Amino acid sequence: MSSSSSQPLAGRRIWIAGIGGAGMSAYAALAHAWGAEVAGWDRADTPYLAHLDERIDVTITPELPRAPDGWEAYVSTAYGSRGGRARSCSRSSCRSGSRSSSPVHMGRPRRAA
């Protein structure tokens, strides 16, 4: 996987549970703009989804599906506290929706010494 300064998330595949929320939809848009392949799920269609690029695949279903194999999974705290986390991803591949573990923070350029 290689990335440039304009595409720091190039080559990453990020799946977001709760993508229809204000915060997670923003993370999805930014991760996509920074080169990641992004997809996600929400239980309801929300106004925030209208602003996402059409290349971001969003699934709307009442039940939380399993994250696709090989994708980094991020679960909104709106769903992680309800036990959905275990169904959506394995312990080794799942991250809760905290800011410090978001795809945006993980891809943030860092100053070199």
Residues whose CB falls within 8 Å of the CB of residue 7, separated by 6 or more in sequence, listed in order = 34, 35
pTM for the whole structure: 0.73
- What's the longest Cα–Cα distance across the chain? 48
Residue 36 lies in a domain: yes
The reply to whether 80 falls in a domain is yes
At 58-108, the pLDDT tens digits run: 999 999 999 999 999 999 988 865 544 434 454 445 655 455 455 555 555
The residue type found at 32 is H
Domain extent, residue 81, equals: 13-106
Count: domains in the chain: 1
